[in-house]
Amino acid sequence: MIKAILFDVDNTLIDFMKMKRKSCEAAVEAMISAGLKMKKEDAMKEIYIIYDKKGMEYKAVFEKIIKKSNGKIDYRIMASGVLAYRSVKEEQVIPYEGVMPTLKVLKKKYKLVVVSDAPAMKAWTRLIMAKLDGYFDLVLTKSDVKKQKTSTVPFNSALKYLKIKPEEALMVGDRIERDIQTPKKLGIKTCFARYGVEDSKKPAIGKSGADFEINEFKELIDVLKKI
């Protein structure tokens, strides 16, 4: 019997990739207006090459783009980009369709927990901006457990706090290595959020290794009826 549901945040509860893309587009447009010597499509391509190498939270991405384009750092250009990025980001941190009503239903029966690799401040900021912070009984971040979800530590910490067995928990997430493979090592049931993965990187249906797969967040209610 499932007693608790564990959730990833980015690309599971919140459409992080859409937020990132829209924010970066606004930043690039602002930087070009301020003097960036690069076409928008080329700048976006370079940004995502850097993100692929350094991670999506890499902070020096605009600095690298400006240096590559203009030969040196220009703080007017960088400030223009950062301000535009932040402005649009605040508008784009929104939950996927169906997240809020589904969480309302689930909260009546289950303990709801966030297990995120994001630093505490970023995880809480996104949850608050998306108006999701009030749904969870526990929010565990990298800042809290000092380990990422490639380790079983975050999941064990959640189980210990909730005082439940692994088989009494379901983990929902979009990253196969961290949200599916690691919790399965402990015996936690898993649900792959297919909607949170880009089509080019999405595995074939049934090939994620998860116990269950969903194409929309609201399908989680039907998944729980099967367990």
Q: Which of 41, 61, 92 is the last residue of a domain?
A: 92
- For 116-175, how does the pLDDT look when each residue is reduced to its tens digit (9 = 90+)? 999 999 999 999 999 999 999 999 999 999 999 999 999 999 999 999 999 999 999 999
| Segments forming the whole domain that contains residue 159 | 4-15+94-226
pLDDT of residue 55: 84
Q: Which of 58, 92, 126 is the last residue of a domain?
A: 92
Helix (H) or strand (E) holding 179: none
Rounded to whole angstroms, the Cα distance separating 118 from 4 reads 21
- For 29-64, how does the pLDDT look when each residue is reduced to its tens digit (9 = 90+)? 999 999 999 999 999 999 999 999 998 889 999 999
Query: Does one domain contain both 125 and 219?
Result: yes
Taking 90 as the threshold, does the pLDDT of residue 202 lie above it? no
Query: Does one domain contain both 99 and 211?
Result: yes
Q: Name the nearest CA neighbour of 109 among 23, 1, 218, 219.
A: 1
Q: Is 170 exposed, middle or buried (0-12, 13-18, 19+ CB in 10 A)?
A: buried
Q: Identify the band that residue 218 occupies on the pLDDT scale cut at 50, 70 and 90.
A: very high
Q: Identify the band that residue 206 occupies on the pLDDT scale cut at 50, 70 and 90.
A: confident
Query: Does one domain contain both 10 and 75?
Result: no
Rounded to whole angstroms, the Cα distance separating 208 from 194 reads 9
Taking 90 as the threshold, does the pLDDT of residue 203 lie above it? no
Query: Does one domain contain both 52 and 119?
Result: no
Rounded to whole angstroms, the Cα distance separating 184 from 202 reads 20
- For 5-26, how does the pLDDT look when each residue is reduced to its tens digit (9 = 90+)? 999 999 999 999 999 999 999 9
Query: Does one domain contain both 77 and 101?
Result: no
| Phi and psi angles of residue 30, each rounded to the nearest 5 degrees, phi first | -65, -40
Query: Does one domain contain both 216 and 130?
Result: yes
Q: Is 201 exposed, middle or buried (0-12, 13-18, 19+ CB in 10 A)?
A: exposed
Rounded to whole angstroms, the Cα distance separating 123 from 137 reads 15
26: amino acid identity, one letter: A
Average pLDDT over every residue of 103-114? 98
Query: Does one domain contain both 211 and 108?
Result: yes
Q: Name the nearest CA neighbour of 62 among 73, 52, 71.
A: 73
- For 142-154, how does the pLDDT look when each residue is reduced to its tens digit (9 = 90+)? 999 999 999 999 9
Q: Is 172 in contact with 217 (CB distance < 8 Å)?
A: no
